[in-house]
Structure 1
Amino acid sequence: MTKDPAGKKSAPPLIWAFTTYFAEGLPYILIRTLSTFFFRASGVSLEATGLTSLYGLPWIVKFLWAPYLDSFGTKRSWLLITQVLLVCFFTLIAVLTQYSWALPVIALLFFLAAFLAASHDTAIDGFYMEALTVEEQARFVGYRVMAYRIAMMFGSGVIVTIGSRTGWVWAFGLAALVLGLLFLFHLTLLPRCERAKESIRQLMAQVFTQRFVLIMFMVSCILAAFIVWYRNSPKLATFPFSNLVGFLLLFSLLLLVPLRTRFLAGIKNRPDSIFARAFLSFIDRDKITAIILFIICLRVGEFMLSSMAGPFFIDVGLKEHYGWITGAVGLPCSIIGAMVGGWLIARKSLQKMIWPFLLAQNLTNLAYMMLAFHLLPYGTHVPGGVSVDTTANILFACAVAAFDYLAGGLGTAVLMTFLMGLCKEDFKAAHYAIGTGLMSVAGVYAGSFSGFLVEWVGYAYFFGISFVFSLPAMALIYFLPWPEVKKTSQP
């Protein structure tokens, strides 16, 4: 045990970094993945089940309300509030799973829980930056990744198995119990490292006004009508609605860059403009265009690769081995990569390690290209798969996958440390949410055209092209304002 700045006993960072990010990963996998499995197993149509893609919307647009988590209350208080509310939601869902008439209610509860979970994520990320120094933030990146991955495995493995074999009331009940125990641990032993600028009660007084409720009602009606129109448009319906909304909002952020000076002058006379100050403070820095382009391009090549790695293993005849390769080989390698990457960044600095780490991450695309040329004639896509299930080929595939996950862990350490370094003191949670939003939307669009590209040129050439798409981020490293990144990361 250690003592926090308030003099109370608290858990050491090694412990709470694990527990908080386990608590972050579990609701995500339950809402984004397990909900789809549950609704389909309950007999819901494929068309209706497809609407669960809307559950991803809060994670893409969470930067819209993140500034208020920075300005009212503390990250610790928001973490605890959203966590206990998630416990209540999953408990209620567990009870309602016993009744077939409750499926629409459960769908609504999942949607509301998605907003809570996205806010919970934002609070945890902000708390992590408030409670740790710059060096500690890099050092514990590996523990964050490990906890999150274990939570994902727990949700997609243990919870799904219990739901399928024993009943969903026990599955969601167990999830609520685990989150409840984590809440009690965090309530008791999570360090107090931040003072509230304004109380959460003051925020509630500002939010729950007649005008605000009326505006939200009108926005909800317009959004609902737009979703109905969107779903009935054959061409648009093939693309997730949440991804489109996220893209439009983040594109609007990019449009603010050339106008930031004018907007900054305008909000000086309005100190209560929390939303505007958060966004403008993010873009009010040297070489912001290079920074935003770097964030967008950082993982494009990796996203292209990861979106087609599974289909590639299936098409080359290694379908039966893909599960244990990703689990037994991929999981430990990704954790080791993130831990080693975080340790080296803390020891050597991000500026020294970013280029070799990104080079390693992007070389995995070429490794997959070599594997594809080896397993498929001329690197082309072969419908129906081919027989390559030999010991030598399996070992080759394992080696490539191990390198991919290990280098991906190094890239994750770079990404997290870089984004944390961009977060300014007053809006750490908001700035981190903006950064992750930019990256995630770029990844969605990079992965969306990958299948078409594979059908056109084949797997091997596709992996080579994905490497080319990774080069802009490496070139942009030399245009990044490193003193600015280092300065703004100080707690």
Structure 2
Amino acid sequence: MNPINDLARAALPTATRHPLAWVPTLYLAQGLPFYAVALVAGLMYKSMGVPNEQIARWTGLLGLAWVFKALWSPFLELARSKRGVVVCFQLAGGCALAAMALALQMSSWFALSIGLFAIVALASSTHDICADGIYIASLSERQQAAYAGWQGAFFNAAKFVSMGGLVMLAGYLEDRMGTRAAWATVFGLLGALMAALGLYHLWALPDTPGAARGKQGVDSVASTLLDVIRAFFAKPGIWLAILFIILFRAGEGQIQTIGPLFLRDARELGGLGLSTAQVGAVYGTAGTIAFLAGSIAGGYFTASLGLRRAMPFLIVAMNLPNLVFWYLSVAQPESLGVIAVGLGVEMFGYGFGFVGMILFIMQVVAPGPYQTAHYALGSGFMQLGFVLFKMVSGDIQGALGYRDFFLWVLVAALPVLVLSRFVWRYAPEAKLSAS
């Protein structure tokens, strides 16, 4: 019995749904488990009294699922139904999130929760591959462009739901029913939401068959994967490009991990002493809106100037606003409005600059006969840079304290700024000039 195929057959044959019936919900379902692991987990552990270095180390390790997903992505073509794969992994992720409600009541809750988050991460990263595959296979190029805005908007809406909704709810419930019960309720609701989306997509998603079948298909896919990897590492200047990609996220990986924990930590420990609900409010509302605005502005800026000329400005824009955290650690303002404005500036710069890395992978690293696969490999190295610096950020912050740590984050951005002068040597110049 194959549960993926059984689920695919269980869906009644229907006419193809309008893209708006499934594109927004598909990318909401892609974003919810990602942000649960990347952001919500850290704030839960902070509320439960876990030290910063352990939070950074373990949540960083969980991010490896998105680093290596390109290695098993070709084998998903062996499934008879991409819709069945998507639904299965949405339900699996939902069950793991709901099980967190029980795990948090156990004496070994920390180990159990890490195990469940690992299941969520693997399910989510694998789900992403087939979700993107359905989007590409089911829509024409014109439709892909037309609905790309919905795709990005609802992936980021998941951040708003997670940080602006669920984290605020957790903070509200912490004061009324205790920390463990509050977070158990939140993850129970999140699991139920994922399960509901999975059942809805059993009806709503278009079905796209896999390309390979049987043992011969496995051998063929494995051979193609080896070809893809060989071609990737044979690109001129690829190791310099990989180093650039990894270092690009040096500051971001640390600030996005420690920043929310700094906001939560007590003032006598150098933090701002905000409640869980307040952190959810400033990050999930003002922060998310500023990030989206920065992303849009960064795209237009880069299109007008050209990637090569824009890149130094994008690196500075992504890292210089981190001075906001140093200012907050020194001034320790009590006004939530001042803190929200500061974080808005930081998140705008983050969104503005991050565009540079997406375009660098797309225009410099990916071009060639395996463009899609090489984009996935480049994205994996991008995530690896985030994970590596995320994992060590807690230890560095513990050794330096918050003030000096935020200065260190600025220093960590200098190598990639220097490297940006040399990384274009083998770049396809035709794709890098402004049109």
The TM-score normalised by the length of structure 2 is 0.67
Structure 2 distance, partners of 1:126, 1:476, is 35
* Aligned: 1:152 with 2:139: no
Task: Show the 5 A alignment for 1:210-289.
Answer: 272-289=222-239
Answer with 172-181 or 24-33: which moved more.
24-33
Counterpart secondary structure, 1:196: coil
How high is the sequence identity, in percent, across the aligned residues?
A: 20
Q: Is the 8 A contact 2:100 2:116 kept in 1?
A: yes
Q: Is the 8 A contact 2:297 2:352 kept in 1?
A: yes
Q: Is the 8 A contact 1:362 1:470 kept in 2?
A: no
> Paired residue for 2:189, among 170, 174, 179?
174
* Aligned: 1:198 with 2:140: no
The one-letter amino acid of 2:354's match is T
The TM-score normalised by the length of structure 1 is 0.61
> Paired residue for 1:340, among 297, 309, 313?
297
Q: How many residues align?
A: 398
* Aligned: 1:331 with 2:345: no
1:197-234 deviation digits (Å, cap 9, x = unpaired):
214xx379969xxxxxxxxxxxxxxxxxxxxxxxxxxx
> Paired residue for 2:319, among 353, 356, 362?
362
Structure 2 distance, partners of 1:405, 1:58, is 25
Structure 2 distance, partners of 1:148, 1:477, is 34
1:4-45 deviation digits (Å, cap 9, x = unpaired):
xx9823224xx755433321232245456767888999999x
Aligned match of 1:299 = 249
Structure 2 distance, partners of 1:191, 1:361, is 38
* Aligned: 1:64 with 2:78: no
Structure 1 distance, partners of 2:167, 2:345, is 24
1:372-407 deviation digits (Å, cap 9, x = unpaired):
7xx84xxxxxxxxxx75477x974x55543221101
> Paired residue for 1:412, among 343, 354, 360?
354
Counterpart secondary structure, 2:424: helix
- CA-CA distance at 1:362 after TM superposition: 2.7
Q: Is the 8 A contact 1:338 1:410 kept in 2?
A: yes
Change (3 A) 1:90 1:336: same
- CA-CA distance at 1:408 after TM superposition: 0.6
> Paired residue for 1:11, among 12, 19, 26?
19
Aligned match of 1:230 = none
Structure 1 distance, partners of 2:310, 2:57, is 42
Structure 1 distance, partners of 2:409, 2:90, is 41
* Aligned: 1:435 with 2:389: no
Q: Is the 8 A contact 1:129 1:428 kept in 2?
A: no
- CA-CA distance at 1:285 after TM superposition: 2.7
The one-letter amino acid of 1:335's match is L
Q: Is the 8 A contact 1:299 1:439 kept in 2?
A: yes
Structure 1 distance, partners of 2:188, 2:271, is 39
Unaligned stretches of 5+ residues in structure 1: 1-5, 208-269, 377-386, 487-491
The one-letter amino acid of 2:65's match is P
The one-letter amino acid of 2:417's match is L
- CA-CA distance at 1:279 after TM superposition: 2.2
Q: Is the 8 A contact 1:364 1:403 kept in 2?
A: yes
- CA-CA distance at 1:293 after TM superposition: 1.9
Q: Is the 8 A contact 1:368 1:463 kept in 2?
A: no
Change (3 A) 1:340 1:124: farther
- CA-CA distance at 1:183 after TM superposition: 2.3
Aligned match of 1:112 = 119
Structure 2 distance, partners of 1:351, 1:167, is 48
Q: Is the 8 A contact 2:69 2:125 kept in 1?
A: yes
Aligned match of 1:244 = none
Q: Is the 8 A contact 2:97 2:190 kept in 1?
A: yes
User: RMSD across aligned C-alpha pairs, in angstroms?
Assistant: 5.1
Structure 2 distance, partners of 1:62, 1:434, is 8
Q: Is the 8 A contact 1:80 1:186 kept in 2?
A: yes
Unaligned stretches of 5+ residues in structure 2: 1-13
Question: Could you say which structure has the larger radius of gyration?
Answer: 1
Change (3 A) 1:483 1:140: farther
Task: Show the 5 A alignment for 1:77-116.
Answer: 77-90=84-97, 110-116=117-123
Change (3 A) 1:366 1:310: same
The one-letter amino acid of 1:435's match is F
Q: Is the 8 A contact 1:34 1:160 kept in 2?
A: no
Structure 2 distance, partners of 1:87, 1:21, is 15
Q: Is the 8 A contact 1:334 1:409 kept in 2?
A: yes
Change (3 A) 1:332 1:105: closer
